[in-house]
Structures are given as C-alpha cells and as structure tokens.
Structure 1
Amino acid sequence: MRSLPLTFCAAAAVTAMAFPASATAAGSEPKDPKEHRGSGSVMITPVAVTPGGEVQLRTDACGKGRSAEGDSEAFVSGVRLTPDNGKGLHAEARIRRDATPGDYDVLVTCADGHGRATGTLTVVPRHHASPAAPVRAGGGGTADLAA
C-alpha cells in the first residue's frame, strides 16, 4: 500500500520539474508566428569566393515576411534581405575587388531590431590559369603552304 503515496510524490516531483521548463518555453515563443526574436545563423553560398565574386545570403532569424540589413567588411556595400517565398530572407552581395584573402564576418540585423544572425565567408586568392605547355599557334593548314 505504500506504493500509492510514492506514486503521488513522484508525479508531483515530475510535474514540479516540468512546469517551470514548460512555462519558460511557452513564454519565450512569439505570439505572432511572423515575430521572431533572437539570434541565428546566415547561410552563405558559396562559402569561399574570389574578390569581385557574388555570394547569396539566407537566414530565417528574423521570421517570415520581414526584412533585414546585411553587412560585412568584404562586401562592396550593405545589402537588404527580403522575403524568399516563405523560406526566410534572401539577398545577393558582391565581394570587393580589393578584398584580401581571409575570413570575414557577416552580420544580419532584422529591420525591427528583434533579431540578428551571423556567419562567416572566406575570400580566396584568384588563380590565373596558365597553360601547362606552349600552344602551337600558327596559320593552321596554311603553315605548310607558306613554307
């Protein structure tokens, strides 16, 4: 018969532990699904780019239907992220032609000031193609005729 009080005590302990956690989680969720407060990450594609190239930025840290501003020392100028068919926010950014190779932070700030997202992109040096062997250039079929 002692199992009945133990069962009630265990149930009360579990409820007491679960209640603050569920109250905190419920309090932190936005009432409006479009309203999102917090931080997140920026997906950058491609993550490695040469100077003068372009990258695409995507984030859902600001919620749906919102806008944001994105900036980095590697960008020619700041960019405005706009809704992307319900998949968060999207923008394209051009990398400065004089950007030195290395890692650059990208910061996105939600327009309403209630969220931000960060990411990192890598600027890689340009590699100029050079021929592996000299190319025999000339008059083609006329070389024999000219000789």
Structure 2
Amino acid sequence: MRRTAAARLLTGTALAVAFVGPAAVAAHAGTGGALEVYPKTVTPGTQVTVDTTACGAGGTAAGDASAVGAGAFVLAPGTHKEVAVGQFRVPPGAQPGTYEIVARCDGQAGERRVSGDLVVTLTSTRPPVHPRGSVKTGVGGALGPDPVQTAAGVAALAVAAAGGTWLLHRRARGDGI
C-alpha cells in the first residue's frame, strides 16, 4: 500500500511539473525577470541602487527612473558578473508615492524589460538611533568606562563624608578643632 501512495505522489508531482512548469517559464520570460531596488522605501535626496540578473552574465542595461524625476542611468556588471548594477539619486523635490523603475537589457536578441517599484515617503522609515555609552563632560560619571576609577572616587567621597561627620561631632561636643 505504501508503494501505491508513493507512486501516486510521484505521478502527481510529475504531472504538475509537466503542465505548470512551461506556464511558469513562459510567465517568467514574459515579464523579463525583476529589477531589485535597494532601499525600497526612501526619502527625497536618497541614493538608490538597483540590480538585475535578467540581462545574463556580463550584460548591461539602460535604466529609466524618470517616473520619480531622476532620469536615465546605466546598469553594468558588478562584482558578480551575472548581476547588472546601477545607481541614481531621488531628486530632493520628489513627491510621495510609488514609482516604477525600468531597465532594458542591451545586447539581447529580443529587448528584455525589467521593472521594480520604489516608494518615496517624506519621513524616514529607519528606526531612531538611541545614544549609547557615557557622557563625555570631563566630570566623570558613576557608570564610567573604568570601574577602578569609579571605585576610587566612591572611596574618596566616603572618607571625606566620614571625616566631615567626625569634625561636626567634635565641634558639637565643644572639643574644638
């Protein structure tokens, strides 16, 4: 009975690949792959990097970011030869919204077009940066970077407090100083 279930599973998988596989390949070929946009959400004035593997090894592409007002840019092979990489800067006057960034591969038999979305916002999506470490005021701090110096400071304050208390006690008794 186990062999029958396994045979059905393999047969079903083979049929799914046979019928869905060509449709998936055709759909992928029709869109021409994808254009990756980093960072995907930006504020005006930010530099954006795009890359794609759709142009093949050593391929180049002509990029178009005119939808956001940045104009044309070039994608060239990067450190990985199969990836074409390009950059552009979002203009300072760009309005918030979602923009389609397009690239057309050069040297292909048929022109291959890839695209990706860029989201422009007026506020940063980065988490706020909180300060860490001690404050550099020159006075020092209770939680400074050197625990030995902190302990010496606490000991000096304790001796001073004890001495002051002893002197005040003698004065109150009338022993004089």
Contact kept in structure 2, 1:44 and 1:58, CA below 8 Å: yes
Q: Residue 80 in 1 paired to residue 77 in 2?
A: no
Contact kept in structure 2, 1:67 and 1:89, CA below 8 Å: yes
Q: Normalised by the size of structure 1, how large is the TM-score? A: 0.58
Q: Which residue in the other structure is 2:100 paired with?
A: 105
SS in 2 for 1:100: coil
Task: Measure the CA separation in 2 of the matches of 1:74 and 1:107.
Answer: 11
Structure 1 residues 38 and 125: alpha-carbon distance in aligned structure 2, compared to 1, 3 A threshold: closer
Task: Measure the CA separation in 2 of the matches of 1:103 and 1:38.
Answer: 19
Structure 1 residues 54 and 43: alpha-carbon distance in aligned structure 2, compared to 1, 3 A threshold: same
Q: Which residue in the other structure is 1:44 paired with?
A: 37
Q: Which residue in the other structure is 2:5 paired with?
A: none
Task: Measure the CA separation in 2 of the matches of 1:59 and 1:117.
Answer: 8
Task: Measure the CA separation in 1 of the matches of 2:33 and 2:61.
Answer: 13
Q: Residue 57 in 1 paired to residue 54 in 2?
A: no
Q: Which residue in the other structure is 1:71 paired with?
A: 64
How far 1:64 sits from its partner (Å)?
1.1
Structure 1 residues 49 and 83: alpha-carbon distance in aligned structure 2, compared to 1, 3 A threshold: same
Task: Measure the CA separation in 2 of the matches of 1:114 and 1:76.
Answer: 23
Equivalences, count: 100
How far 1:114 sits from its partner (Å)?
2.9
Q: Which residue in the other structure is 2:114 paired with?
A: 117
Q: Normalised by the size of structure 2, how large is the TM-score? A: 0.49
**Which amino acid in the other structure matches residue 60 of structure 1?**
T
Contact kept in structure 1, 2:58 and 2:82, CA below 8 Å: no
How far 1:58 sits from its partner (Å)?
0.7
Task: Measure the CA separation in 1 of the matches of 2:71 and 2:103.
Answer: 13
SS in 2 for 1:119: strand
Structure 1 residues 100 and 38: alpha-carbon distance in aligned structure 2, compared to 1, 3 A threshold: closer
Task: Measure the CA separation in 2 of the matches of 1:60 and 1:126.
Answer: 31
Which structure carries more strand by proportion?
A: 1
Which structure carries more helix by proportion?
A: 2
Structure 1 segments, 4+ long, off by >6 Å, are none
* Structure 1: stretches of 5+ with no match in the other structure: 1-13, 29-35, 128-147
- Compare 53-62 and 84-93 and name the one that shifted more: 84-93
How far 1:76 sits from its partner (Å)?
1.9
Task: Measure the CA separation in 2 of the matches of 1:88 and 1:103.
Answer: 24
Structure 1 residues 103 and 90: alpha-carbon distance in aligned structure 2, compared to 1, 3 A threshold: same
Higher relative contact order (CA 8 A, sep 6+): 1
SS in 2 for 1:41: coil
